[in-house]
Amino acid sequence: METKFASHCSHKIRYHMVLCVKYRKQLLRDRGRIAKLAQTIKEIGKAYWFETDEIGTDGDHVHLFIGAAPRYSPSNVM
């Protein structure tokens, strides 16, 4: 993790988010689904200038490590 610099500030903000599948069904075992989910998350990150550090799944939930500028609140990043 490196410190990012803007015109009037420096920041190193990282968020750890856990997203669960409804009813905790084991839908994230297929590699194709995981790849498509990761691709979609990275495309959203490019659109909103988020940095996706790590994406991991455990069958029924997804762990995201995302970096964002301080202009975005955690609820907006979510």
Under CATH, which number does the domain 13-77 receive?
A: 3.30.70.1290
Quick one: pLDDT at residue 13?
87
Region 20-33: mean pLDDT is 87
Q: Does 40 have pLDDT greater than 70?
A: yes
Q: Is 1 a residue whose pLDDT tops 70?
A: no
> If you write DSSP's letter for every residue of the chain in order, what string do you get?
---EE-SS-EE--EEEEEEEPGGG---B-SHHHHHHHHHHHHHHHHHHT-EEEEEEE-BSEEEEEEE--TTS-HHHH-
Q: Please state the pTM of the whole predicted model.
A: 0.78
Domain boundaries, the chain: 13-77
